[in-house]
Amino acid sequence: MERTLSIIKPDGVSHGLIGEVIKRLEKNHIKIIAIKMIQMNQKQAQGFYAVHKDRPFFNSLTTFMTSGPVVVMVLEGNNVISKYRDLMGATNYKEAAEGTIRKDFATDIEKNVVHGSDAPETAAFEIGYFFNSFEIMS
């Protein structure tokens, strides 16, 4: 069993895509074991995206991620990290496969609707960043 962190980003929330993303998770038998809505401040977004701190898009990304509420979820299942990333599609929606969330709904390389952890180590860090043990159903 694996766990991963999902975020419905500010563009996904403001475009009314919370239900659509959750529908795709459930349709693909991906189990949601924690969920809440939050709005990050700049410090919190910078800490979350610390791996990208030297990238040219870091400031823009953290500003975007603090621009409105997001829905954070913990997902659980066999190979859920790659399974969920397959549902998300490529970072750049123009390169994303047909039928993926980003292909269907992203409007920009930055405003790409969803986040998903990329490895077990990053998933553990990211889940702990947003959730305590009482908030996760096991």
Active site residues: 115
**Residue 5 bridge partners (DSSP):** 74
Binding site partner of 65, from ligand ATP, Mg ion, none, Cβ cut-off 5-8 A by kind: none
State in angstroms the smallest separation of the CB of 134 from Mg ion: 27
Nearer to Mg ion, 76 or 118 (CB): 118
> Footprint of Mg ion on residues 104-133 (CB under 5 A)?
118
> Strand order of the sheet with strand 2-8?
31-38, 70-77, 2-8, 114-116
State in angstroms the smallest separation of the CB of 24 from ligand ATP: 15
Q: Strand, helix or coil at 132? A: coil
> Footprint of ligand ATP on this chain (CB under 6 A)?
57, 61, 91, 109-110, 112, 115-116, 118
Exposed/middle/buried for 64, CB within 10 Å: 0-12, 13-18, 19+?
middle
What are the residues binding Mg ion (CB under 5 A)?
118
